[in-house]
A = this chain, B = another copy of it.
Amino acid sequence: MDKIIEKFKALSDETRLRIVNLFIKSGKNLCVCELMDAMHLPQYAISKALGVLKSAGFFVTEKEGTWIYYKLNRDKSEIKTLINFLKSYLDSDVFLQDEERLQKRIALRLNDKCVVGIIPEKELLKLIKDKVNN
């Protein structure tokens, strides 16, 4: 029983739902710094939220050098069912904004890998503008 409770608890939080939403909608594996920019939240907030979701079984991680890619855990049927349930209810405005910002951030990848890291927003906006103008 504790296991189910842990899963429901993990999903009882706006930040964590926003994270799950981004993985569902983008279909990508994402790293902390990409989520930071998509959600406009500090690094520790993203890391902690991911930690909770990972202990509850929603994510697995893949390390690539200093980067850590989080990935929805599709190996467990309870998780798949819950994720599937969520799909129908992730339609509020906050989610959309996150998705739009993530798209711009993802556009800066090279070979579908994150290469930007944690940078001040000003520089990020500049990179995005350059990307559009070339």
Contact = CB atoms under 8 A, between A and B. Distances in A.
Interface stretch (A31-39, A78-86, A124-132): A78-86
A11 B14 contact: no
Secondary structure class of chain A's binding surface, majority of residues: helix
Interface stretch (A1-9, A40-48, A113-121): A1-9
A13 B5 CA distance: 6
A1 B92 contact: yes
Contacts of A9: 8-9, 12
B8 A14 contact: no
Nearest to A95: B1
Task: State the number of copies, please.
Answer: 2
Given A81-B85, A82-B85, A5 B14 contact: yes
Given A1-B89, A8-B9, 18 more contacts: A1-B14, A1-B17, A1-B90, A1-B92, A1-B94, A3-B89, A4-B89, A5-B11, A5-B13, A8-B11, A8-B12, A9-B9, A9-B12, A12-B12, A78-B88, A78-B89, A82-B85, A85-B85
23 contacts: A1-B17, A1-B89, A1-B90, A1-B92, A1-B94, A1-B95, A3-B89, A4-B11, A4-B89, A5-B12, A5-B13, A8-B8, A8-B9, A8-B11, A8-B12, A9-B9, A9-B12, A12-B12, A78-B85, A78-B88, A78-B89, A81-B85, A85-B85
